[in-house]
Structure 1
C-alpha cells in the first residue's frame, strides 16, 4: 500500500515503497546487528575460556566449544545475510547461488548444534555407565570421533541444498527458502525430531544412573564406617564432594580416642578423608585405577539440562511451524509467525554463554577477568 506521508506512516519500522513493495525494516537491522555482536562476543569468550583456563579443560567443555563454534559460524555466515533479507522486507535481492549457500549453512549449523548436544548426552551417559573406562583428564579418540561425527552428519543432512535441490522449475528469485517440501520433512526429522528424544532419554538414564551410584556409594561408606568391633559413632556427615572423596568433620566422629581408623581413612589437616577401594580395579603390572566423577563434572552435568531445555524452548516452535508448512500444503502460515519463530531460534545462539556464566563459576570468573581487562 502506498504511503500517504502521515506521521503514523513515518513512525513505522518498515518503510513501504511505491507499488506496495516492502522497503527497509530498520528494526530488523538494528536488532540483527546487536544479536550478531552478542553471539560473536559471548561464544568467542566461551572458546577462549576453555583454551586458556586449566580448570575448564574438561571433556564436557570440549563439546561445549564445538557447540560454541557452531553458534559463531551461524553469526558470521548466516545471520548477516538473513538480517539483510529482513532489512529488505523479506525480499531476496541477491543471487540464487548465494541463497542456496545460505540455506545450506543454516541447515548444517542448526543441525550441528543439535547433534553436538546429542553427542554431549552420549558422552555423559558413557561417563556414568562405564566410569572406569572413561578418560576425564584429556580428550581421547572417543570424544574426537563423536565431535567429528556431529559435523559430518550435519553436512550430510544439509548438502542436498548446495548440490541443486533448490533448483526447481518456476523458482521465485525474490524469495530465499527451501523449495522442496519432501526435503523439509526429511531434514526436520533428521535434525530435530529424532535426535531430541534420543538426547532426552540418554539424559534421563544418565541422571538415574548417577543417582543410584551416589546412593550405593553413601551406603558403602556408612557400612564401612560402622563395621567390625570398633565403637564408632556415625552422625549425619557433612559432605564435601570432590574427586569422589567424602570428607567428614573430625568433631563427633568417634566417641573415644582408642577407636582405630578403618582401612582407607587418612588424616589431612584435621579432616578425615575416605577413599573407596570397592570402586578400584587392578590389572597385572598396573596401578590401581579409581572411578571418579569430580566436582567440575557434576557442575557440568547440572548445567547441561538447562542448555538443552533452553535449546528446545527456542527451536521447537520453528521446527513445528517448518514441518507443518511442508506437510499441510494448503495451510497458510503468516509470514510474521515464520519470522518470529526463526528469530527465536537464532536467539538461542546468544543464550548459551549467559547460561554458562550463571551456572558455572569458572566461566563466570574468566568472563569477569576479560571484561575488567577491556573496561
Structure 2
C-alpha cells in the first residue's frame, strides 16, 4: 500500500475490487482508489487510533490472562469456570478478528477490503458478539441453579453437561450469524467505492438476530439475576436473625462432673463457650460479607451488560424500522457500536476483580507479588 498526502486528502493505492465490471461475489481485477478523510483533523484521527488500539490491547491481554489462569492455576480448574473460558474465547475473538477491521473502517471512512471479506467480517462480528452475550446468559443460569439448588445441581454440573451447554451457546450463535451468508440479506449486487459494509437490513433478519442475540438473553438474565438477588436477600436476613441466637448461647454454662470416687464438682464453662460462640459469630459475619459482595457484583455485571449493549440494539432496530427518525452521524454510530465492543474488555475485569483466586493467578502470570 502506498499512501500520498496532498493538502488534507489521503490517496490510498490499495488492492481493491474494480467497480463496474464485477458484482458482489466475483472480483478479479484491482484498481487504485481514493479515500477522502479531509473532514477529520489529524489529531482526532491519531487520537482515535490510539484509544481504539488501547481498547483492543487490553481486551486481548485481559482475556488471554483469564484463559491461562483457569488452565494453569489449580484452584481455578473447576468445571463452572469453563463458562468463563468460553466467554473469554468469544471476547478474545472479537478483539483479534473484528475490532482491527472496524478501526480501519472508521479511520479510512470506507471499506477497502472487498465484498467477500466484508461478508466474513460481519458474520464473525455477529457470531462472536452473540456468543459473548449468550455465555453471559449461561453463566447467569449456572449461578442461579448453584444458589437455588446447590446439592442437586452440584451432582448435575459435570464436565460433560457443561461442555454440552457451551457447545449449545456457540451452535445457537452460528444459527444467528449464518442466515445472511445463505441469502437472507439486502447486500448490493455491485460493490462500489462508496458501498458501506454493514449488517443486513432485512427487517425479518433484524428481528430474528436482535431477539436471539440480545433481547431474549436480556430478559433471561434480568429474571435470573432478580431471582438470585431475592434468594441472597432472603439468606442474608436468615443469617442476620441467627446472630442474636448465637449471642444468647454465649452465656456461661454450669458444668457438673463426677469423679471416680463419686464426688460431684460444679464449674462454669463460660470461657470455653464464649470462645466457640465468638468463632461462630465471626464465621457468620464473614459469610454475610461475602454474600453482600456477591449481590453487589451481580448488580455490576447486569448494569455493565445493559449499558454496553442496549444502545446498540436499540439503534439497530429503531433506525431500521423508523423511516421518519433522524439519521445519526457516523461518529455517533461508531461510538454506540464500540460501546458494545467495550463489554468484551470489561468482562475479564468484572468476572475476575471480585475473585481472589483470579487475582492471585494474574499476579503469578504477571510475576507480581500477590497480596
Shift of 1:209: 2.1
> Is the 2:131–2:170 Cα contact (8 Å) retained in structure 1?
yes
- Give unpaired runs (5+ residues) of structure 1: 10-14, 226-233, 237-251, 261-266, 275-292
Matched, 1:62 2:82: yes
Deviation at 1:161, TM superposition (A): 2.1
8 Å CA contact 1:116, 1:147 repeated in 2: yes
Contact in 1 for aligned 2:115/2:191 (Cα 8 Å) = no
Question: What residue in structure 1 maps to residue 253 of structure 2?
Answer: 256
SS of the equivalent of 2:306 reads helix
149-158 or 136-145, which deviates more: 136-145
How many residue pairs match? The answer is 313
Question: What residue in structure 2 maps to residue 21 of structure 1?
Answer: 36
Conserved in 2, the CA contact under 8 Å of 1:60 and 1:300?
A: no
Deviation sequence 1:292-343 (CA, Å, 0-9, x none): x999898666534322321211111111111111111343222111111111
Indicate the RMSD between aligned Cα atoms, in angstroms: 3.5
Q: Describe the shift of the 1:195–1:259 C-alpha distance in structure 2 as closer, same or farther (beyond 3 A).
A: farther
How far, CA to CA, are the matches of 1:330 and 1:172 in structure 2?
A: 27
**1:222-261 equivalent positions in 2, closer than 5 A:** 234-235=246-247, 253-256=250-253, 258=255
Give the TM-score, by structure 2 length.
Answer: 0.72
CA contact 1:181–1:327 (8 Å) conserved in 2: no
Paired residues of 1:100 and 1:166 also in contact (CA < 8 A): no
Structure number with the bigger relative contact order (C-alpha 8 A, sep ≥ 6) is: 2
Q: Residues 150 and 294 (structure 1 numbering): CA distance in 2 closer, same or farther, change over 3 Å? A: farther
User: Closer, same or farther in 2 for the Cα pair 1:323/1:99, shift >3 Å?
Assistant: same
Q: Hey, what's the Cα distance between the residues in 1 that align with 2:162 and 2:291?
A: 15
* 1:116–1:150 contact (8 Å) kept in structure 2: yes
In 2, Cα distance between equivalents of 1:121 and 1:131: 14
Gaps of 5+ in 2: 13-33, 258-271, 281-286
Distance 2:363 2:211 in 1: 40
- 1:205 Cα offset (Å): 0.8
- Partners of 1:362 and 1:296 lie apart in 2 by 14
Q: 1:163 aligns with which of 168, 171, 182?
A: 182
Shift of 1:154: 0.9
Q: Quote the Cα distance in structure 2 between the aligned partners of 1:193 and 1:167.
A: 23
Question: Of the two, which has the highest radius of gyration?
Answer: 2
Q: Distance in 2 between matches of 1:161 and 1:211?
A: 45
